[in-house]
Chain A
Amino acid sequence: MKRSLWTLFLPVLVVLAVGLYPLLTQQDVHRETSFTLLRAVALAASLNIILGFTGYVSFGHVVFYGLGGYVAFYLVAEKGWPFWSAVLMGGLAAALLAFLIGAGILRLRGAYFALVTIGVNEAMKAFIYNFQPFGGPVGLTMNFAVYKAYGGPRAVLWMTYHWLFVVTLIVVAVSYWIRVSKFGLGLLSIREDEDAAEVMGVRTSWFKTWAFTLSAFFPGLVGAIFFFRNASIEPHDAFPLHVSIESIVMVMLGGQGTVIGPILGSIGYQWMRVFLLTNRLLKNIQLAVAGGLLLLIVLFIPAGLVGWLRRRFPATRRFLL
């Protein structure tokens, strides 16, 4: 079956639509909405590399977001590095952590791997709590003078938005590349049957480690961008486990292992979240609803929305990937 170029255009168009809207209206409120959406898309799409393509449930994936945030924040606020190089270092720090622990923990399968990734996140939180250069339990705050170099706080809000927009587009492009590349075929074969993949010549440990590293790099960038504009960072905000869980829900809702699934899943989930948070009755049980949703997805549409469409209507496979 010939794959239509829509498999690439559709995801890119969705992200462009979300990302360009505030640039056209120049409204702060639209920018903040799109920032939240793009952040969710970028986190879900990068989690999908290890979760959806490779089949490893990284439950504590937010650790890479927090670490990237801390490293970049420290370099900008304490060491006076330029923003762009600090963001890059945040991503690289997250990738390095994934590379180093990946070789060890990716030997574990199923629930054991998931549990260990939670442990890694909690351990990192505890470490930062006691790590004085990063401010320990109090965290770090940005001197507003730093923002002057970028044209003041308002300009920083727009600049970081542009950065996130570009990073999100890159994540989507990388997702697409993985899905249609030989590297991706290796990952998918690991997801389906790791032992059979190894016998067919896929160097599984090498593939898994690089998939994990790649899926950690982008959350590192996103965390770096987010906490820079946030003007403060503390352990509790940097490593929230519920953000990890929400990312998993977003990936599963849209369809793990697809390119467009995590994008649609993130947008759908964020839309539902806003609905819940603004509802007087439901606003306190927003996370319980996320948990319930995850349960329902796993029980009834484990392949997610896009996976279900692809299976139910094979004709959609040509343009939904």
Chain B
Amino acid sequence: MNVLLRTENVVKRFGGLVAVNQVSFELYEGEILGLIGPNGAGKTTLFNCINGIYRPEEGRIFFRGTDITGWSPSRLAHMGMARTFQIVRPLAELTVRENVMVGAAFGEKRLPLSQTARVADEVLAFLGLADRADQLAGSLNVAQKKRLELARALASQPRLLLLDEVLAGLNPTEVDEMVETIRRIREQGITILMIEHVMRAIMNLSDRILVLDFGELIAEGTPEEIAQNERVIKAYLGDPKLAQRFALEE
């Protein structure tokens, strides 16, 4: 299997706080890799390092075999990396279609404007936003804005898609729809790295899962392995033996 993305000992500090500490992992072409961890574990910071928003203090990042450490986000977009934001960032005063056209026009393919409208309409149809195409993006509801984020990223026909909590804030039906959508995106041959808090979904979708806690990678493995991993359970729930000990003491 080909390695699409590789990080080597990536470190990102904010003053005294080490937000990402010595994180190394590999992402293979065609896989869905989940990234989980408690709040503040450094997941989004790691995304921001991969995607060029932050420059890591130490370590290297390789994408498609090239050292991309410190590259600008736009340059990475031209190489085929796309992402969605945890807090949606619609281009509010532009129409939904124009939002998606931006993704298509400035991604790796850099399509001429005349072709981007067609690509945008295809992607919007795929994500069920076709009837909203002429609406201003700011007027969408949260679930629709989440899908718009995804549509913009997809319109660039990326090789790697970074999804930052696309399921957060959705109701159970919407979650199921989105999970199905993500599966279909992978079937198109797009590699996905996703941060998610909705466990049922991430356990279902991911081929492998990485777990971050206090900036460090504490576990890596298949969903089954992660679910059984003691350090992971501890990170999420505290000490699993604690309850037993309390019971014994009584």
Residue positions of A touching B, CB distance < 8 A: 1, 181-182, 185-186, 188-189, 191-193, 195-204, 257, 311
Per-residue CB contact flags for chain B residues 62-102 toward chain A (1 = under 8 Å, else 0) read 00000000001111011000110100011111100010011
Q: Is the CB of A193 within 8 A of B89?
A: yes
CB A208 to nearest CB in B, in angstroms, measures: 12
Interface: B198 (CB within 8 A): no
The reply to whether B113 and A182 contact each other, CB–CB distance below 8 Å, is yes
| B94 and A196 contacting across the interface, CB-CB below 8 Å | no
Which residue from B72, B74, B94 sits with its C-beta under 8 Å from A192? B94
Q: Does B106 contact A (CB under 8 A)?
A: yes
A20 to B72, CA, bound (A): 49
Q: How far is the CA of A124 from the CA of B37 in the complex (A)?
A: 55
**How far does the Cβ of A179 sit from chain B's closest Cβ, in whole Å?**
11
* A185-B98 in contact given A196-B85, A199-B83, A201-B156 (Cβ < 8 Å): yes
Are the CB atoms of B93 and A192 closer together than 8 Å?
Answer: yes
How many B residues are at the interface, by size bracket?
Answer: 20 to 34
Whole-angstrom distance between the alpha carbons of A247 and B110 in the complex?
A: 35
B112 at the A/B interface (Cβ < 8 Å)? Answer: yes
Known A-B contacts A1-B134, A182-B112, A193-B91; the reply to A199 vs B77 at CB < 8 A is yes
B94 & A188 in contact (Cβ 8 Å cutoff)? yes
> When the two chains form their complex, are residues B98 and A204 in contact, meaning their CB atoms are under 8 A apart?
no
Report, nearest first, the 7 A-B pairs whose CB atoms are least far apart: A201-B77, A201-B106, A192-B91, A196-B89, A182-B113, A199-B73, A189-B102
- A196 contact set on B, CB distance < 8 A: 85, 89, 91
Q: Which of A1, A197, A257 contacts B102 (CB 8 A)?
A: A197
Which of B53, B90, B93, B101 contacts A199, CB < 8 Å? B53
Residue among B72, B91, B107 having the largest count of chain A Cβ atoms under 10 Å: B91
Contact B113 A200 (CB under 8 A): no
CB <8 Å contact, A188 and B98: yes
B35 within 8 A of A: no
Q: Which residues of A contact B215 (CB under 8 A)?
A: none
Residue of A nearest to B109 (CB): A201
Distance of A241 Cα from B165 Cα, bound (Å): 48
Q: Are B113's CB and A189's CB within 8 A? A: no
Nearest-CB distance from A45 to chain B (Å)?
Answer: 19
Q: How far is the CB of B105 from chain A (nearest CB, A)?
A: 5
Closest-CB distance, A246 to chain B (whole angstroms)? 25
Q: Which residue of A lies closest to B112 (CB)?
A: A182
Q: Which of A181, A200, A257 contacts B106 (CB 8 A)?
A: A200
Closest to A203 in B: B74
Contact A202–B91 (Cβ < 8 Å)? no
Question: In the complex, what residues of A have CB within 8 A of residue B98's CB?
Answer: 185, 188
Chain A residues whose C-beta falls within 8 Å of the C-beta of B91 in the assembled complex: 188-189, 192-193, 196-197
Q: B152 in the interface, Cβ–Cβ < 8 Å?
A: yes
Tell me, yes or no, whether B103 is within 8 Å of chain A by CB: yes
- On whether the beta carbons of B72 and A198 are closer than 8 Å, the reply is yes
Q: Which of A181, A192, A195 contacts B92 (CB 8 A)?
A: A192
Residues of A within 8 A of B89 (CB): 193, 195-196
Residue of A186, A192, A199 with most partner-chain B CB within 10 A: A199
